[in-house]
Amino acid sequence: MQDDLKTRLCDAVDAGFDRQVAFLSELTAHPSTRGNEQSAQGFMAGELTARGYEVDRWQIDIADIQHLPGFSPVIGPYEDAVNVVGTHRARSGGARSGGGRSLILNGHIDVVPAGPLDMWDSPPFEPRVVDGWLYGRGGGDMKAGLASNLFALDALTACGLAPGGDVFFQSVVEEECTGNGALACLARGYKADAALIPEPFAEHLVTAQLGVLWFQVHLKGLPTHVAYAGTGSNAIEAAIPLIQALHEMEHRWNAAEHRSDDYAHAEHALNLNIGRIQGGDWTSSVPAWCVFDVRMGLFPGQSIDAAKAEIEQVILDAARGNAFLRNSLPDIVYHGFHAEGYALSQDSSEHAASAIIALEAAHHSVTGTALERAAITATTDARFFGLYADTPALVYGPRAEAIHGFNERVDLESLRRVTKATAMFIADWCGTEEV
């Protein structure tokens, strides 16, 4: 790419950056937790339409995706799960006619719950900018990424250019619990030569991500009046040895001999999290029930089915140590992530290599430094493109802090750099054509 074009794209990002921050602020003000994404998706669809993209907005239908690899089981209806995709068709016809390569710019609109409001310094859905950081739930994870994708395209437009290949701008739901939003985009036919997902990993290129399994453990107890507690069985306390057994399993899975290449030196990449618990109805009744929710990481290449079998074995073995549970074994319910790990580092395709080179060049132009790589201990929607659509997926986004925590925030100068690098990457990967 000519230095002149790089400079013009950077200038355009700078010129539009106040508007970009205002856009991010407005998007973050939509409290798009699971089931409540519709107003944020409406806002995204409006912004895409105003820019002239062809907008596709549809409700996910389980029947369209449940037979596909990568599907995660869900409990409850999907009536409120709506995806938005804005499409740019290259005038040249793109790669189909010998033009530029196509690209998916993907981001998720769903955010995790804010948690107790009194632990935030200011309300989580009233974003504010202080000392170069934008604060708010979802500001970092990952509405800044959606803003980066959109305003990178805007920078090309401001330079009188459009991508020379087809570009699909995806705003998806369900990233934080299943990935079924990204899967539904695949099922609807959206394919491209590469995908870029600006998840907030501090301007590193993510070369590997873990798999994630979610499951619920439902325990029963034998309720009695607490006066006769010795004759009952406390479902809440019965959870404790099961949790301990799961942590022992976590320890085993993290052992050096089980690690995949990208995590060979990670002492504790796989985290098991007891994320929620609920049990009992009355303080003076021995509780008859308890449910706890678990998230467990998996290495790339680790079989989901084998992992589930071992988890079930561990829970049932621990339950057999409890006189009551032995005859009333826990139920294990899968509700949420059935996510395999994915390693871009293992993708030896020409597309993967050239996409990484293009991103390295863009990153270096903006920052003057080499693109650092990271094997992350979470999952992202990248797995759908990489594992199930032969599409290299580059996860590269701004620096954020306290994602899933209180006072989540994103570094605006980092967002500015990522937007510039993204604009250059698009221009390089897709080529450009005059508007």
Which residues of the chain form contacts with its own copies (CB under 8 A)? 112-116, 119, 141, 176-177, 210, 212, 214, 220, 222-230, 232, 234, 236-237, 240, 243, 268, 271-290, 292-295, 297, 336-337, 376-378, 402-406
- What backbone torsions phi and psi does residue 428 show, to the nearest 5 degrees? -75, -50
Q: How far is the CB of 131 from its own copies (least distance, A)?
A: 22
Pair 108, 142: CB distance under 8 Å? yes
Q: How far is CA 68 from the centre of its chain?
A: 19
Q: Count other C-beta atoms under 10 Å from residue 309's C-beta.
A: 11
Give 23 or 214: the residue with its C-beta nearer to its own copies: 214
Q: How far is the CB of 119 from its own copies (least distance, A)?
A: 6
Q: How far is CA 259 from the centre of its chain?
A: 22
Pairing of strands 393-395, 195-197: parallel
Q: How far is the CB of 41 from its own copies (least distance, A)?
A: 20
Distance in angstroms (rounded) separating the CA atoms of residues 291 and 296 = 16
Give 379 or 432: the residue with its C-beta nearer to its own copies: 379
**Cis peptide bond upstream of 424, omega within 30:** no
Distance in angstroms (rounded) separating the CA atoms of residues 45 and 262 = 38
Give 125 or 337: the residue with its C-beta nearer to its own copies: 337
Determine which helix (DSSP H) or strand (DSSP E) holds 88, and give its type and residue range: strand 82-88
Give 327 or 349: the residue with its C-beta nearer to its own copies: 327
Q: How far is the CB of 217 from its own copies (least distance, A)?
A: 12
Sequence-ordered list of residues with C-beta below 8 angstroms from that of 317, at least 6 positions apart, any chain: 245
Q: How far is the CB of 270 from its own copies (least distance, A)?
A: 10
Give 42 or 241: the residue with its C-beta nearer to its own copies: 241
Q: How far is the CB of 259 from its own copies (least distance, A)?
A: 16
Determine which helix (DSSP H) or strand (DSSP E) holds 54, and give its type and residue range: strand 54-59
CA dihedral in degrees (380, 384, 389, 395; nearest 10)?
A: -10
Q: How far is the CB of 91 from its own copies (least distance, A)?
A: 41
Distance in angstroms (rounded) separating the CA atoms of residues 125 and 135 = 9
Two tokens at 230? Answer: 């010795």
Total residues found in the chain within this entry: 435
Pair 142, 409: CB distance under 8 Å? no
Q: How far is the CB of 207 from its own copies (least distance, A)?
A: 15
Q: How far is the CB of 164 from its own copies (least distance, A)?
A: 36
Distance in angstroms (rounded) separating the CA atoms of residues 290 and 430 = 53
Pair 373, 204: CB distance under 8 Å? yes
The amino acid sitting at 71 is: F
Q: How far is the CB of 386 from its own copies (least distance, A)?
A: 18
Sequence-ordered list of residues with C-beta below 8 angstroms from that of 392, at least 6 positions apart, any chain: 194, 195, 344, 347, 349, 351, 352, 355, 356, 385, 386
Give 64 or 401: the residue with its C-beta nearer to its own copies: 401
Q: For residue 401, give the 3-state DSSP assignment.
A: strand
Give 43 or 384: the residue with its C-beta nearer to its own copies: 384
Q: How far is the CB of 156 from its own copies (least distance, A)?
A: 32
Give 288 or 382: the residue with its C-beta nearer to its own copies: 288
Return the sign of the alpha-carbon dihedral for residues 69, 74, 79, 82.
negative
Give 122 or 273: the residue with its C-beta nearer to its own copies: 273
Give 277 or 353: the residue with its C-beta nearer to its own copies: 277
Indicate the angle between helix axes 38-50 and 144-158, nearest 10 degrees: 10
Give 98 or 116: the residue with its C-beta nearer to its own copies: 116
